[in-house]
Amino acid sequence: MKTDILIVGSGCSGLYAVLNLPDELDIMLITKSDFESSDSFLAQGGMCTLKDPSDYDSFFEDTLKAGHYENDQKSVEIMIKSSPDVVKDLVKYGVSFTRDENGDFVYTREGAHAHHRILFHEDITGKEITSHLLNAVKKLKNVRMYEYTTLLDIFCDGSKCCGGIIRWPDGREEQVEADYVILATGGIGGTYKHSTNFKHLTGDGVEIARCHNIELKNLDYVQIHPTTLYSDNKEERSFLISESVRGEGAKLYNNSKERFTEELLPRDILTGNIRKEMKREGSEHVWLSMKTIDPEQLKEHFPNIVEHCKEHGYNVPDEMIPVVPAQHYFMGGIKVNLQSKTSMDQLYAIGETACNGVHGRNRLASNSLLESMVFAKRAAKEMTAEFDKTKTKSFDNVDFTPYEDKKKLEKEYKQLIRDEIDKENAKMNDKEKQEN
């Protein structure tokens, strides 16, 4: 099989890349599960934007401060300055951000933000954005789309990526020759026991890159979200209680019903404070109260959170809900440049599987959707400009024997990425001990 561009992943980055590529190119988009089962659909809080030039310095500083000043500053600059164009594109595709009675955007605020600069649609912003992008892609005649189709590996000609090896839903393996490959395979939450991510997101793209000696970066930069709904069911995906809830005034309490921390601290610091309090009390969770939020505003802004809490027996805002930290986001990944190109020619990485340094050590809330789309567009523009100079030769059939044992391969990829993360964490701990 041959295509011009193979895109792996159906989240907002993969879809937005498609929409920024010329319609005369043959594009093949595959996804490991169904099209809606990407973490982009799960994003609740919203998407940051530069609402006014006067907010640039503050937005920039908030992003760097949250990232412990380990951010790539040029990446941050590009993300912020590109945000108004992304918003215009999304509105064009039908995305309905919340507006006031005059038709102007309403902005919310989350932890570590100095100002209200986050666009939102109720508490399902990710679904609102990604579903409209998906619908737009489905209308394109030059795009072939396949669900339940897994990337097993890439194949190369020297330093050039020439395509991928995929497994179809019926179990068949096939090689797909491509002039460009874009990895938009998402995060690593499926390798954790407690995560807000879909279970099938197990860092496949990162592990495939590692096997081909493609540069990786900051594999130990894993973000834990401070507030997910506590559940006795350990197999259940952790349900996120959006940062916006605390941004609108919700308060945290220990089991003695005492406040113990500032609610709008950066995620990693707040997570640490919650864990300290849980350890001190010997408890499995702390409590979140939404009584400080106007009930009508709560129902209007967070209807899905309210309904989910109700389904689990909690009547908010009258009752507090139990919350606990859980793995949420991966700031590391495949190292890319400002155009999302990896260290291998003709191979790009975008979204959560890529690391362009924009987030630093800890991601600022609601920067993920924005960053994913900004750098997806840059990848698409560079591939478009370079396409006529790039041609992949035909290859003999690949030996599929190493990929035949599906369960073994999945287990290996899942374990190897966690081993790499643990290795990087051990290095960091040793370094900190030496410095102290």
Q: Can you tell me the distance from the alpha carbon of 393 to that of 384, in angstroms, rounded to the nearest whole number? A: 19
- Whether 420 and 210 have beta carbons less than 8 Å apart is answered as yes
- Whether 244 and 123 have beta carbons less than 8 Å apart is answered as yes
In the structure encoding, which two tokens stand for residue 45, read together?
A: 């809080």
DSSP assignment, residue 195?
A: B
- Whether 142 and 29 have beta carbons less than 8 Å apart is answered as no
Whether 418 sits among the annotated catalytic residues: the reply is no
Choose, from 267, 361, 363, 378, the residue flagged as catalytic: 267
Burial class (CB in 10 A: 0-12, 13-18, 19+), 117: buried
**First-last CA distance in the chain:** 56
- Cis peptide leading into residue 266 (ω within 30°): no
- The label of the residue with tokens 């035909």 reads 394
Residues 6+ apart with CB under 8 A from 32: 9, 148, 149, 150, 151, 185, 200, 201, 204
| Catalytic residue ranges | 267
